Chains A and B, each alone.
Chain A
Amino acid sequence: MKEFFITLYHQRMLVTAAILFVIGMVGLLFNMNLIKKIVGLNIMDTAVYLALTAAGHVEGRMDPIMTDPTIPATVQQYINPVPTGLVLTGIVVSVASTAFALALTVRLYRIYGTLYLDDILFKAKRRED
């Protein structure tokens, strides 16, 4: 049990990412307000970025930006640049999907006058009948 907690301490970035992910998921599941659902989705995105950044981190090495181009770069100097690029991709896609979701929410609000999913479903069903 003691070893378990010591490992948890060493993996604190990943543990924070896991907790953030679950917080976002709870927000996505239990909030009926659409804006709060989108906020929950964004918190889940943030957790994934944290986990990816932690995967590329190496203790005691620099960011992968060369200060002096005359000295050839070695692996012992810099951290892993691949997860950083993946996080960039993730951020861009998250921005795009959030904007699209918010635009759809605005259109729903204009039609039904509410942001609560229950009311929207109820009104949509009544309009169908």
Chain B
Amino acid sequence: MRSDNGFWKRFLDWVNGDERELWYSAKPARAAEPKHKTAKKMTKAQKDRIFNLIYRTSGVLISVAMLVTLLLVMVNLPIVGEAENPTNNELSQYYIEHGLEDAGATNLVGNMILSYRVFDTFGESSVLFLAATAVTMLLLRDTKNTSDKLLRYFKREDKAESIVNDRLLRTVSRTMLPIIFLYAIYIMVNGHLSPGGGFAGGSILGGGLILFAQEFGTGGVKQFFSQTLFKSVRTVALAGYGLIDLYYAFMGANGLDNHIPLGTPGSLFSSGIILPINVMVGMVVTCTIYAFYGLFHKGEI
């Protein structure tokens, strides 16, 4: 099977870095190409047309096959909404019946994602953190990322924006902003008692910051939320989340008492680690949402 010039040899060479191309390594070198170039150019338009035809036909076929398969699968799944379905097993029963005594929040979904599966949610927050970092790397306005032409364009835009004075936007944003911020903080802090939590509250807070930036410009946001503060807030929030998470998981895995008081169920200061973790997740989400806006808008936070 494994002949010396066969696919396996080439594959091993490719893995080791000796060969640059996996599939075309047997091709002759570039010097032989010009002879065939005229013959190839004649058929290039035809080739494109044939490729398009095949692509579209197979695309339609794949889509129709996908639809039929999915419909057949959906019909054969257990009927939605029945209590005896295999999805409603002893796992969800345990989460519902023991959630309050184990984690202390009346929001049972919050119990699940922030206490039983807190490591999973830490991964989510890290994904958001990494996404914000990656978008910053790609779009931040500095000498490496942007050309001189683009920098001049951004400066012109800044100047044009400082002149604009929209009365409707000003009135609406000045009336609504305090309410939006208050509501966002309410949702974030009250996440263990009602629907909401760090992700929802952080998104609303980020939306409020976007409205603020629309009215007062990114310079207005910078006066209280500079790039240094942005970096430190999201890093400290994620690191604090990670530390709490490590402590909680370490104590729980070794069967030790974690000394975190659960409080009276239903009051604001209850449910152990869920309240601080909600606030920290909210900070990370706020920074991420606002960073997306600022970076996509004009490349600055």
Contacts and interface: CB of A to CB of B under 8 A. Distances in A.
Given A25-B63, A59-B81, A88-B199, A4 B75 contact: yes
Contacts of A69: 100, 106, 265-266
B87 A56 contact: yes
B135 A81 contact: no
B18 to A, nearest CB: 23
B15 interface: no
B129 to A, nearest CB: 9
A29 B63 CA distance: 9
A82 B77 CA distance: 18
Given A81-B95, A81-B109, A88-B199, A55 B131 contact: no
A22 B128 contact: no
Interface residues of A, number: 58
Contacts of A73: 96-97, 99-100, 108
B59 A29 contact: yes
B97 A72 contact: yes
Interface in B104-145: 106-109, 112-113, 117, 120-121, 124, 127-128, 130-132, 134-135, 138-139
Interface string B239-275: 0000000000000000000000000011000000000
Given A30-B56, A92-B199, A11 B295 contact: no
B220 interface: no
A107 B127 CA distance: 21
Contacts of B70: 18, 21-22
Contacts of B199: 88, 91-92
Contacts of B85: 55, 58
A55 B87 contact: yes
A18 B72 CA distance: 10
Interface of B: 56, 59, 62-63, 66-67, 70-71, 73-75, 77, 79-83, 85, 87-88, 91-93, 95-97, 99-100, 106-109, 112-113, 117, 120-121, 124, 127-128, 130-132, 134-135, 138-139, 147, 150, 194-195, 199, 265-266, 292, 295-296
Interface of A: 4, 7-8, 10-11, 13-15, 17-19, 21-22, 25-26, 29-30, 54-59, 61, 63-67, 69, 72-75, 77-78, 80-85, 88-89, 91-93, 95-97, 99-100, 102-104, 106-107, 110
24 contacts: A7-B75, A10-B80, A11-B74, A11-B75, A11-B79, A15-B71, A18-B67, A18-B71, A29-B63, A30-B56, A56-B88, A58-B88, A66-B108, A69-B100, A73-B97, A73-B99, A74-B97, A81-B92, A81-B109, A84-B109, A91-B199, A99-B132, A99-B135, A103-B139
